[in-house]
Structure 1
């Protein structure tokens, strides 16, 4: 009797679970296929698109391809009949004529680089103040005005906690820099022990031209420059103390402030020119809730050609980053478009947004959210896809390596949205949802590193879908041959099912977070 009762209960539960699935959503979700994804990505991440660098011919080719697909799907062209939303950018090439300490010259991209954009400037100073980890309690009443501030660009060690020592600045470190800048030093020199290795791999990227939104260039913010430097530069700055930077760092918890002398000279300027760039937008109007808009976003740009004349592979194809996300958007758009043709269009309007300039600082999404085609007050959610085609380094060899995704940010602004995403997965896709990086204080800062963040800044709830980094991240090896297309399709299906619910439910997600 117990076995019969248990079996009957299990059968009833299975029927109930199936009943929760929306057959219409499932019909169109199944249109998202590995085969069609491969067709798109084999074009977008081909050598012919030259790595899709913003402002280059390859990015223009990609934009035209996406717009052509939007047109085939019957999406509306919402920019005065165009799928292209102009993003006015300016290219700045930093020219450094001098960066010396005690007459010793250091090289941009090998020994140092500026953090963010810098205005034309010439700095000469001889007073250097080592400020340890730069907290207010360490600095005290020390006068920093007009001096070179040498700062440990790492999180301060805490008992029982592993400190983040990576060069990428955390939220806490960014706040420290702003406080140091408020004390009007001549420059802040941010030293980090891991920077030497990082520059060996990515040094050519930091010396490449920098893009900014044009209106920002018209009124540049006067800020104290911050230079990221290797220990070699820091050693020269503290040479007259008879100690190394490592010595001062080791003693920083007991002797956080050390003043010394060094002849520091930095002279640099920018050469500027306008750059053509566009976001690609396709619009599907809703029915009874058409004034509310759901956004699916992915950036179609990548980092372009390899900046090394001796490289055998000349193209950073960006198949995963973010050809996979762009492909996911095209697949989701196809599913929604077929549903609409069959009389099952969404209640809310849907905007498919291909962002440009993500690799240059989230520029396309920043410009869109500052100049939205549809009011952000009516934008209910941004579902952003950035890298869903590979197995990240932490899942290689694991049993669930082909059945996971990292969702980031789903609960930061809306518990409703988090629950909707969870339910969509439980109902349809059954991926492992790994929330390891779902933390604004995560040292990798993934929450801040893709286009969803510009929506979140304006209070729009978001979910960011991500497979984690791998050895080919920002390398020529990020090619189509390494993409797991069934996994890409399944992850895109999760985004589709989440979006289907958002586009058709009675109520939009409640915003209850900061």
Structure 2
């Protein structure tokens, strides 16, 4: 009889648990390959131009996320807006209206400038060619020449040698310090206070080829658009040009880089030339305020609505270069942004059908992660909801590929980083949810504090963790296309990406509906 009564109590409990699981699975299954592919194809498209911070593509991505939140019925929590303005400023070196003999040159394409000085105008009617720019007791090309306030051109490579390869400077068969240090020449020339320096040579040309089109801007940081009391490290601009470009200038003096080197190696006579050509440019450091926002959507909970769960993913990537090269960022982090949108839609549908979470969930597309986790840093320093009431942050960053480690092995995996750093319960929930619903290998390798990648510290969850909020970073790992133009949507493993999204959904469901908030009972490195 006792056994009968026990069974009568157990059967309803098991049935109730089964019903709850069915409900949870129903809404998880709203996350699909088709809907995920639609979002990610859009976010990584040419139209979105790599979603660069401070660029048009980044603005379009923020608008796309806000419009999706609106369509799901999420509440705009920032004084009636989905946007939290982030105080970003870009400190960048600009070279504008750059003209040589009436021809316009483009920074990052025809030349690249190194400098750190206030934005100002430069002009000259002639450029002084100083050969190798060497100032040595045995060979001084600047002897008796006043270049203060003038524009100079030098060949910043090697040094004059005889037919056997012996240096004219040291008279030895090995090269002197003037050959080995291009920086020494520049340093010594700047002491003479020229207005600007044109530098050419084989190494300069090689660097220019590698850098072509890659001048996308300077340093982005949190700030109010002002820089004061900065230490200027390079007051004289160094304009690096190719040998072909230098030869265009030298042709006006009936010589070339090759001809000059050949003649100098024979004569061992320092010489300078005046190149009669007008030069004008506006160059220097500018500070610009950027408008990239965090994008927030609130799904209000029921009886525990004052407690908040953050579901985050950064939407920015490397953008578009001046030469038109686009970094699509399909995996990094179009995939994580898609995951945030998919979870937002699934939980919104649950609430519409009366199955909403007890705790509130805030879905965030974070700005400027690639510039130093700046969007999440700004949010945690200027929270829209009290951090004391924030019970967890689950961050999705690169969840769409198969990494090098798993490429020849098990593809059914996910990296979960930081789950037990602050809360043992978060790791337990992660493992239980996976066992019950998604059955993946959970790789905790990157939790090792001795791991050289130190990935726990390299995504947006970390700023929440620093505030004592249990936080985790869900990740599919690194691959050869990381931060290259080849991170494209056709390389995404959508079935695995959706499986990873569903795992985070189930973890969130459990945290949102359990009786007690996550215990903060760990303090692991």
TM-score, reference length from structure 1: 0.65
In 2 relative to 1, CA 32–93 (structure 1 residues): closer, same or farther, beyond 3 Å?
A: same
SS where residue 327 of structure 2 aligns?
coil
1:457 alignment partner in structure 2: 466
Q: Residues 193-232 of structure 1 correspond to what in structure 2 (within 5 A)?
A: 208-215=217-224
Give the counterpart of 2:342 among 331, 356, 359. Answer: 331
CA RMSD of aligned residues (A): 3.4
C-alpha distance in structure 2 between counterparts of 1:445 and 1:388, whole Å: 18
Query: Residue 411 and residue 61 in structure 1: after superposition, are their counterparts in 2 closer, same or farther (change >3 A)?
Result: same
Q: What's 1:340 paired with?
A: 351
SS at match of 1:361: coil
| Native 8 Å contact 1:20 1:427 kept in 2 | no
Alignment correspondent of 2:297: 282
Given candidates 488, 493, 501, the residue that maps to 1:492 is 501
Distance 1:418 1:56, change over 3 A: same
Change (3 A) 1:501 1:60: same
Aligned 8 A contact 1:21 1:427 in 2: no
1:445-478 Cα distance to aligned partner (Å, 9 max, x none): 2111111011011111111001111111011111
DSSP 3-state at the match of 1:358: coil
1:365 lines up with 2:380 in the alignment: no
Deviations 1:204-258 (A, max 9, x none): 7687411111159667898999xxxxxxxxxxxxxxxxxxxxxxxxxxxxxxxxx
| 2:425 equivalent to 1:416 | yes
Check if 1:447 corresponds to 2:456. yes
Q: Distance in 1 between matches of 2:421 and 2:225?
A: 28
* Structure 2 residue 322 is the aligned partner of structure 1 residue 302: no
Contact 2:90–2:217 at 8 Å: present in 1 too? no
CA contact (8 A) 2:216 2:320 kept: no
User: Structure 2 vs 1, CA of residues 119 and 479 (structure 1 numbering), >3 Å: closer, same or farther?
Assistant: same
CA displacement, residues 309-357 of structure 1 (integer Å, 9 cap, x when unaligned): 3x8xx21100000000000111111110110000001000000000010
Query: 2:440 maps to which residue?
Result: 431
Q: Is the contact made by 1:408 and 1:439 (CA closer than 8 Å) also made in structure 2? A: no
**Normalized against structure 2, the TM-score is what?**
0.63
Deviating 4+ runs (over 4 angstroms):
18-21, 197-207, 215-225
| Displacement of 1:300 | 0.5
How many correspondences in the alignment?
A: 363
Structure 2 unaligned regions, length at least 5: 1-10, 96-107, 119-205, 235-282
1:31-67 deviation per Cα after TM superposition (whole angstroms, max 9, x unaligned): 1101110011111110000000011110111111111
- Secondary structure of the 1:486 match is helix
Provide closer, same or farther for how the CA distance between residues 199 and 290 of structure 1 changes in structure 2, counting only shifts above 3 A.
farther
Which residue of the partner structure matches residue 319 of structure 1? 330
SS in structure 2 at match of 1:22? helix
Aligned to 1:61: 60
Provide the C-alpha distance between the structure 1 equivalents of 2:382 and 2:402, rounded to a whole number of angstroms: 36
- Does 2:78 align with 1:79? yes
Structure 1 contact 439–447 (Cα < 8 Å) conserved: no
1:382 alignment partner, SS class: strand
Q: Sort the Cα spacing of 1:429 and 1:216 in 2 relative to 1 into closer, same or farther, 3 A.
A: farther
2:307 matched residue in structure 1: 292
- Which whole-Å CA distance do the structure 2 matches of 1:463 and 1:281 have between them? 19
